Structure 1
Amino acid sequence: MVKTSSLNNVAVAVVNGVAPFEMGIFCEVFGIDRSAMGLPTYEFAVCAMEDNPLTVGDGHYRLTLPHGPERLEEADLICLPADRDAPTRDYPEPLLESLRRAVDRGARVLSVCSGAFLLGAAGLLDDRRCTTHWMHAPALARRFPRAVVDPDVLYVDEGQVITSAGTASGIDACLHVVRQEQGAEVANTIARRMVVPPHRDGGQAQYIQRPLPRTACDTVGEVIGWMARHLEEEITVEQLAERAHMSARTFARRFLQETGTTPYQWVLRQRVLLAQELLEATDETVDAIAGRCGFGTAAALRHHFLRALDTTPNAFRRAFRGPAAA
Structure 2
Amino acid sequence: MAQQSQSGPVAVAIGRRPEPVHDVAVYAFAGMAPFELGVVVEVFGLARPELAGLLAAPWYGLKVCADRPGTELDAVGGFSLTARYGLDELAAADTVVIPGVPNAFGGVGAAPGRPAGGVSAELVAALRTAHERGARIVSICSGAFALAAAGLLDGREATTHWRYAELLQQRYPSVRVNPDVLYVDNGSVLTSAGSAAGIDLCLHLVRRDHGAKVANSVARRFVVPAHRDGGQAQFIEAAIRPVEEEDDGVARSMQWALDHLSSPLTISVLARAAQMSDRSYLRHFTARNGTSPMRWVVTQRIAASLPLLESPDGSVEEIAVAVGFESAATFRHHFGRVMRTSPTAYRRSFGRGVA
> TM-score scaled by structure 2?
0.83
Are 1:325 and 2:354 matched, yes or no?
A: yes
Residue 47 of structure 2 corresponds to residue 18 of structure 1: no
**82-91 or 231-240: bigger deviation:** 82-91
Distance 1:166 1:6, change over 3 A: farther
Q: Does 1:32 align with 2:46?
A: yes
Q: Per the alignment, in what secondary structure is the counterpart of residue 25 of structure 2?
A: strand
Q: Distance in 1 between matches of 2:272 and 2:252?
A: 13
Q: Give the match for residue 171 of structure 1.
A: 199
- Secondary structure, aligned partner of 1:214: coil
State the 1:279 CA deviation. 0.8
Number of positions where the alignment pairs a residue of Structure 1 with one of Structure 2: 320
- Opposite residue 168 of structure 1, the aligned amino acid is A
Q: Which SS does the other structure have where 1:136 is aligned?
A: helix
**Which residue number in structure 2 is paired with residue 45 of structure 1?**
63
Q: Verify the 8 A CA contact 1:208 1:258 in the aligned structure 2.
A: yes
Counterparts of residues 120-135 of structure 1 (less than 5 Å): 120-135=148-163
1:91 to 96, 115, 119: 119
Match of 2:114 in 1: none
Between the aligned residues of both structures, percent identity stands at 46
Bigger shift: residues 113-122 or 308-317: 308-317
Match of 1:105 among 133, 140, 164: 133
By how many angstroms is 1:114 displaced?
Answer: 0.7
CA shift at 1:182, angstroms? 1.2
The residue aligned with 1:189 is 217
Aligned partners of 2:21 and 2:61 also within 8 Å: no
Find the residue that maps to 1:135 and give its secondary structure: helix
Distance 1:241 1:6, change over 3 A: farther
Match of 1:55 in 2: 74
Aligned positions of 1:300-315 closer than 5 A: 300-315=330-345
**Structure with the greater relative contact order (CA < 8 A, sep ≥ 6): 1 or 2?**
1
Q: What RMSD, in angstroms, separates the aligned Cα atoms of the two structures? A: 2.3
Counterpart residue type for residue 242 of structure 1? R
Hey, what's the Cα distance between the residues in 1 that align with 2:181 and 2:152?
19
Q: Does residue 213 of the first structure (1) align with residue 231 of the second (2)?
A: no
Secondary structure (helix, strand or coil) at the match of 1:256 reads helix
1:73 equivalenced with 2:103 (yes/no): no
TM-score normalised by L of structure 1: 0.90
TM-aligned CA distance change 1:297 to 1:151, over 3 Å = closer
Deviations 1:48-100 (A, max 9, x none): 2246100112x622112222222213311111112451332333222211110
The one-letter code sitting in structure 1 at the alignment partner of 2:146 is L
Cα offset, 1:220, TM superposition? 2.2
State the alpha-carbon separation in 2 of the partners of residues 315 and 181 from structure 1: 13
Q: String of CA shifts for 1:107-155, please: whole Å, max 9, x gaps.
A: 0111111111111221212222111111111111122222221111111
Structure 2 distance, partners of 1:238, 1:213, is 25
Contact 2:73 2:80 in 1 (8 A): yes
1:270 to partner: Cα distance = 1.3
- Where do 5+ consecutive residues of structure 1 fail to align? none
1:203 and 2:231 matched: yes
| Alignment pair present for 1:145 and 2:173 | yes
Q: How far 1:103 sits from its partner (Å)? A: 0.4
Shift in CA distance, 282/212, structure 1 to aligned 2, threshold 3 Å: farther
CA-CA distance at 1:160 after TM superposition: 1.4
Identify the range of structure 1 (100-109 vs 32-41) with the bigger mean alpha-carbon deviation: 32-41
Counterpart-to-counterpart distance in 2, 1:286 and 1:143: 45
* Cα separation, partners in 2 of 1:80 and 1:272, compared to 1, 3 Å: same
Contact 1:18 1:82 in 2 (8 A): yes
Structure 2 unaligned regions, length at least 5: 1-18, 107-116
**Where does residue 283 of structure 1 map in the other structure?**
313
Q: In structure 1, the residue corresponding to 2:181 is in which secondary structure?
A: coil
Deviation at 1:24, TM superposition (A): 0.8
Q: Is the 8 A contact 1:128 1:148 kept in 2?
A: yes
Contact 1:12 1:80 in 2 (8 A): yes
Rounded to whole Å, the distance in 1 between the matches of 2:141 and 2:158 is 11
* Residues 34 and 53 of structure 1, relative CA distance in 2, 3 Å threshold: same
Counterparts in 2 of 1:154 and 1:299: CA distance versus 1, 3 Å: closer
What's the CA shift for 1:315? 3.2
Write the letter of the residue equivalent to 1:317: R
